[in-house]
Structure 1
Amino acid sequence: MSVTFEKLTEPTREIAESYNQWENDPDLIPMIRPNKDKEAAGKRYTVTAENLRKRLQDHEVFLIYVEGVLVGEMNYIVNPGHLFDKRQDTAWIGITIGEPDGRGKGAGYQAMRFLEKEIAARGLKRIELGVFEFNETAHKLYRKLGYREVARIPDFTYKDGSMWADIRMEKHL
């Protein structure tokens, strides 16, 4: 399987449409954004090329392709306010494999390794991420890659009638 990555520099309408699809997929919403209740979990978001351009002002964004087909994105931001450990020179990362055909084939693992190399090349020494408690697949992947749990923020997001914690994990490069 061929997995490739491309830095997003100029968002197009087509890329924004893919983001819209992922952001509003009922199966993905609980995985990619915190929701305080059932109503928030069903809220739709509109992503435009202009939204993505604004995001590029403080995020480094990379598109994920499997066999030449766009299946997801990953990104990082340096020293955002929501870090659990406010240590400077920390990258906060996010990853979404939005297309079902891109899941379960190692694309997430390869994407994370790529992102870690990009962050290290920038001279950053620490990565922090959040993974929702119910997302056992992602939690297992992060442990496999050497991330360790540093905190749990209880009652952080809603899914299937329950509130779940946000597990904060870190890795030193």
Structure 2
Amino acid sequence: MKITFEEIDKKQIEPFEYIAKWSNDPEIKYFIGANLTEGEMPDREPKELLKNAGGNDKHIYLIKDGTKPIGDLSIMIDPPHVKKKEKNTGWISICIGEKEYRGKGVALKAMDFLEEECRKLGMKRIELGVFEYNKRARAFYEKIGYEEFARVKNFVYYEGKWREDIRMEKYL
């Protein structure tokens, strides 16, 4: 495996086609996206993702093995939805979209990359949200130094009931 990270061109649709494919994968969609209404979570369209890609305060990267896209990452700078309003906070997300790459150390490399990019962008703190039922991700974040500091009750709908979003943070 030759894992690299490439910031996407937000004017090109192709990266968003991969991101939409992963966002709609029934095996992981409820772990990487928030279902904010009761019932099934609607599929995401590449054009919608491109439209919502944000300006200079959002950085989106593809994770690649050689030339093959296998996942995506993002950093938002001081977004309004952070729970703890501290200046220079990066909100991060990670998705290992291709099943055969999960559990192979890619997420650890991705988090190292994200933390370094946050430092380069002047971030002093990282905040993320992990759904209460995503125990594997939560254990991973704890292992690499993230600490729970808050919970948002009734945030996401999953398997017939409303669940909490656990907010975690790490100071850089």
TM-score, normalising length: structure 2:
0.90
CA RMSD, 1 decimal: 1.8
Deviation at 1:66, TM superposition (A): 2.5
Letter in 2 for 1:172: Y
Contact kept in structure 2, 1:26 and 1:42, CA below 8 Å: no
Match of 2:50 among 49, 52, 56: 52
Letter paired with 1:14: E
Q: Please state how far the C-alpha of 1:13 moved relative to its aligned partner.
A: 3.5
For residues 9 and 2 of structure 2, the distance between their equivalents in structure 1, rounded to whole angstroms, comes to: 22
> Which residue pairs with 2:159 in the alignment?
160
Structure-1 residue corresponding to 2:6: 6
**What aligned pairs does 1:89-104 form with structure 2 within 5 A after superposition?**
89-104=88-103
Q: Residue type matched to 2:163 in 1?
A: W
Q: How does 1:72-87 map to 2 (within 5 A)?
A: 72-87=71-86
How far residue 148 of structure 1 moved from its aligned partner, in angstroms, is 0.3
- Tell me, in whole angstroms, the C-alpha distance in 1 between the residues paired with 2:10 and 2:81: 27
Deviations 1:104-140 (A, max 9, x none): 1111110011010011112211000000011111111
* Cα pair 2:10 2:53 within 8 Å, conserved: no
Dislocated runs of 4+, deviation >4 Å: none
- Checking the alignment, whether the CA contact within 8 Å between 1:66 and 1:102 is kept in structure 2 is no
CA distance in 1, matches of 2:14, 2:81: 30
Checking the alignment, whether the CA contact within 8 Å between 2:154 and 2:164 is kept in structure 1 is: yes
Aligned match of 1:30? 30
Unaligned runs of 5+ in 2: none
SS for the counterpart of 1:158 is strand
Paired with 2:147 and 2:75, the residues of 1 have a C-alpha distance of 18
1:134–1:124 CA distance, 2 compared to 1 (3 A): same
Q: What TM-score comes out, normalization by structure 1 length?
A: 0.90
Letter in 2 for 1:55: A
> Closer, same or farther in 2 for the Cα pair 1:30/1:54, shift >3 Å?
closer
The answer to whether the 8 A contact 1:9-1:56 is kept is no
CA distance in 1, matches of 2:65, 2:154: 35
* C-alpha displacement of 1:99: 1.3
Q: Deviations over 1:21-76 (max 9, x none)?
A: 1122222221122214442x33122122x842651413111110124321111011
